Chain A
Amino acid sequence: MTTLNSRVPEGPIKDKWTIYKDKINLVNPANKRNIDIIVVGTGLAGGSAAATLAELGYNVKAFAYQDSPRRAHSIAAQGGINAAKNYMGDGDSNYRLFYDTVKGGDYRSREANVHRLAEVSGAIIDQCVAQGVPFARDYGGLLDNRSFGGVLVSRTFYAKGQTGQQLLLGCYSAMNRQIARGKIEMFNRHEMLDVVKVDGKARGIIARDLITGEIERHSAHAVVIATGGYGNVYFLSTNAMGSNATAAWKIHKKGAYFANPCFTQIHPTCIPRSGDYQSKLTLMSESLRNDGRIWVPAKIEDAKAIQQGNLKPTAISEVDRDYFLERRYPAYGNLVPRDVASRAAKERCDAGHGVNATGEAVYLDFAAAIHRYGSTQAKIQGLHNPSKEEVIKLGEAVIEEKYGNLFQMYEKIIDENPYKTPMMIYPATHYTMGGVWVDYNLMTTVPGLYCIGEANFSDHGANRLGASALMQGLADGYFVLPYTIGDYLADDIRTGKIPTNSPEFDEVEKSVKDQLEFFINNKGTHSVDYFHKKLGQVMWDKVGMARNEKGLKEAIKEIQEIREDFWKNVKVPGDLNEMNPELEKAGRVADFLELGELFAKDALEREESCGGHFREEHVTEDGEAKRDDKNFAYVAAWEYTGKPSEAILHKEQLEFKDIELKTRSYK
């Protein structure tokens, strides 16, 4: 078994990045004009990378499947972005951010990458403010911070509940400046369908113009993949409808190793599904758990009556309620990390205590918070012996000020007033920590092929902390890749333009066209969504929040069967040379059907429970996740050899020199 070279520089952890930057090769400005870089995906990672590389002088070609870079799914992030600014003076530092991220990731991330992330986090905030990102401020005019799960300091910067949107618009404006100057050539409504390698190096891509259906060849000296995560392998997730793994999977098939696919984050507070027609799931911010108490009926007959619509939650007395997070985790209560909260909710629902028609929901109840805030307000306002109604009215006003937009969103979707009756929530797939394996330079195992943002695996280990995804995307794009890619491109200053009429381009283009033609000509019996939903069901049932050997083996077999059925019976209407959303989906689902199998295989191989990966065989006596550092403190990087079932495992051993490995406990 080969050992992967992570190319982590020598030296003490806090000096590695500085030493590295001092020693790398640079490309002089005149030569940068002769170098082309392709960036696929224009979310926070791709958008920031494209803008920065163009500012440096490279010729950038950027690709997005939406009609504008501004619509990438980074835009949906609500809560905020972490940075170790220590503006609050509460003891924050680069080291603390580094430590929290490694610990939060259950010790499955690469120390050197995470420390670098913490080091550049402060500059991200400076850069965004300079770009005009309207972060929240206090009355003195300085930036405001709030706190998120899993940490003891306030280091989260935010822009209302739309932080992702504002940061993305910052990248987008920086991109627009370069598009106007011709330094970025923007390809909206284009989808990358494969990568082209010449002499072992990534030298271009094949893309489809989603409006005309035309297949295009694009060459470059390096290719950057920034296409996000693969959460839609579950069909239902909080990802956008178009979020897909095709670029990441296609490069995997061309030699890029795929790391830790089983590390996926299931977020506890999402709006439950309501029927088979459901197309996506909506996240409710983690911040709600600050004031909401999570419970289910303690008696199974009460749960049944609620499921059948014969009982209202407000009619259940306190003694008959099971506040299961507070019961199991008295120290952290409702604020345990995401993976722990999700599993506990599933456990109760599986035991029959779920509370909506499908039995897959738990209550998030604000009645206690409304009463508490109301009583405080009554005292502040000097009301003696206020009536119950007065207290509730005052309390609701406080809750509205804090969470008004979320409550409104909930009411729009569920058509129930969450001030009067408890919210119903259930976990949903939200983020993928796993992804394409990259070294310290963010380069994949294919020379000249880079992977940044959620699409790579590097920084979050087995569980991501809240407000860290935005930080990583922007760190990679603004401050890491622009250095590391120069070190590689310094050897390419005499290469000249890469021709697109080579046999390598011919070959890849042909395979892309063959697949598209197959879909159109197959004339099968079932739509693409039919297969995607079947895959999603298997993934959710057997490779979801809790996994076991038997289920994973079944899942692998079932996914293989669905895939076989898909290639025989998929039906794609319409034509090749036109806008054809069904054709786009077909290619994406074909890739999910392979990725899903590798995902299950990875989960089967990892015989431990850690972070978002919970194996039922590996639990402590009281039912908690049991990590196995002796045997599994490694990154599982898979090499494609023709079939997901025959992928070869390469292990990158993780070394923890600066942080002691400990068991996470929230009791």
Chain B
Amino acid sequence: MNLTLKIWRQKGPQEKGQMVEYKVTDISEHMSFLEMMDVLNESLVAKDEVPIAFDHDCREGICGMCSLHINGEPHGPDRGITTCQLHMRTFKDGDTIYIEPWRAKAFPVIKDLIVDRMAFERIQQAGGYISVNTSGNTQDANSIPISKYNADLSMDAASCIGCGACVASCKNSSAMLFVAAKVSQFALLPQGKVEAKERVLNMVAQMDIEGFGNCTNTGACEVECPKGISLENIARMNREYLKASII
């Protein structure tokens, strides 16, 4: 198939960016979206032009590196997948596709389609851990039984890949789903209860410092999340936050 691509180009963080139009031809429907981008980049190299920079790594939907805003949706029109798992059969011959970076104040553009997600790192550093040293002498793994129900809920929350689609999809650029996923993972486990109060207060405080917006329960994040992280986690974090604030 033949396609028209309108892609955000921006040379550096301080430079002014713009949408640039490219044509690609003979695209196979079996290609992944990023393989289509590879084909475009190879053609740009052949013409001595600078290829389009985009983040990607594992190309199997788990590392969270890829981050394209395609036709107005994070990770494109398909559901429950990352950009690298999107295939060209989702599009039709002759389509025009708009490709942009994540758009949020807390995710400044580094180059072209690559954004800086260090804000997420700092939020994790503010409390996204359990304070246990590696000693080889922690108690036996089976000494604390954890109900399967809670362990499964914790696992669901922990499956967040930190891609930032939740922020990109949110009209307020809120990071609540991302932060809530980590807070919930630990809040649901006995190991995480010891530091629960400090964790939620510190992570939320850092989230605010980074300039993410507030949550208005629209739910776009849950729809666009490639891992299907539930909005219930935000409710759980709000309860944790309230509890930590008053006790």
Contact = CB atoms under 8 A, between A and B. Distances in A.
Contact of A67 (B45, B65, B147): B65
Contacts of A240: 57-59, 63
Interface in A43-91: 48, 51-52, 55, 66-68, 70-73, 75-76, 85, 87
B162 A68 contact: yes
Given A131-B130, A165-B62, A571-B48, 14 more contacts: A71-B65, A76-B58, A76-B63, A87-B142, A127-B138, A131-B191, A166-B158, A173-B124, A177-B129, A179-B125, A240-B57, A274-B30, A279-B32, A412-B85
Interface in B7-43: 11-12, 28-32, 34-35, 38-39, 42
A54 to B, nearest CB: 10
B59 to A, nearest CB: 5
Contacts of A75: 58, 62-63
B42 A529 contact: yes
Interface string B150-177: 0110110011011000000000000000
Contacts of A188: 118, 121
- Give the bracket for the number of chain B residues in contact with chain A: 35 or more
A66 B145 contact: no
A202 interface: no
Interface string A13-57: 000000000000000000000000000000000001001100100
A131 B145 contact: no
Contact of A479 (B11, B125, B134, B186): B134
Contacts of B145: 137, 140-142
Interface of A: 48, 51-52, 55, 66-68, 70-73, 75-76, 85, 87, 120, 123, 125-132, 134-143, 159-160, 162, 165-166, 169, 172-174, 176-177, 179-180, 186, 188, 211, 238, 240-242, 274-275, 277-280, 282-283, 409, 412-413, 415, 478-479, 482, 527, 529, 571, 573-574, 578-579, 581-582
B117 interface: yes
A525 to B, nearest CB: 9
B55 interface: yes
Nearest to B46: A527
A294 B158 CA distance: 35
Contacts of B65: 66-67, 71
B54 to A, nearest CB: 9
Contact of A242 (B57, B133, B148): B57
B28 A176 contact: no
Nearest to B129: A173
Nearest to A164: B62
Most buried by B among A188, A211, A238, A581: A581
A53 B121 CA distance: 20
A87 B126 CA distance: 36
Contacts of B125: 176-177, 179-180
18 contacts: A55-B133, A66-B57, A67-B55, A71-B65, A76-B58, A130-B138, A131-B129, A134-B154, A141-B151, A166-B158, A176-B128, A188-B118, A277-B28, A409-B61, A413-B87, A479-B136, A529-B38, A582-B51
B69 interface: no
A76 B62 contact: yes
B89 interface: yes
A139 B152 CA distance: 11
A258 to B, nearest CB: 25
Most buried by A among B46, B59, B89: B59
Contacts of B39: 277
A73 B53 contact: no
A85 B143 CA distance: 13
A455 B31 CA distance: 31
Contact of B134 (A70, A139, A140, A482): A482
Interface of B is mostly: loop
B110 A579 contact: yes
Contact of B87 (A51, A238, A412): A412
Contact of A581 (B51, B136, B189): B51
Contacts of B38: 277, 279, 529
B191 A129 contact: yes
Contact of B110 (A142, A211, A241): A211
B1 to A, nearest CB: 13
A66 B63 contact: yes
Given A87-B142, A173-B129, A176-B125, A73 B136 contact: no
Contacts of B131: 177
B132 interface: yes
Given A573-B50, A573-B51, A129 B85 contact: no
A76 B146 contact: no
Contact of A129 (B58, B59, B129, B141): B141
Contacts of A242: 57
Contacts of B44: 573
B60 interface: yes
A582 B45 contact: yes
B213 interface: no
Closest 9 CB pairs of A and B: A141-B145, A173-B129, A134-B155, A129-B141, A130-B138, A134-B154, A180-B125, A71-B63, A52-B134
B74 interface: no
Contact of A279 (B59, B116, B138): B59
A130 B35 CA distance: 41
A573 B48 contact: yes
B5 to A, nearest CB: 16
B191 A132 contact: yes
Contacts of B34: 279
A126 B158 contact: no
Contacts of B136: 120, 123, 127, 478-479
B146 A241 contact: no
B120 A68 contact: yes
Most buried by A among B32, B57, B64, B87: B57
B63 A73 contact: yes
Contact of B64 (A48, A71, A141): A71
A413 to B, nearest CB: 7
A126 B140 contact: yes
Nearest to B158: A134
B35 A277 contact: yes
Contacts of B237: none
Given A132-B192, A478-B134, A278 B87 contact: no
B14 to A, nearest CB: 12
A506 to B, nearest CB: 29
B58 A73 contact: yes
Nearest to B146: A141
A449 B225 CA distance: 42
B53 A579 contact: yes
Nearest to A68: B121
Contacts of B53: 579, 581
Interface in B81-111: 81, 85, 87, 89, 110-111
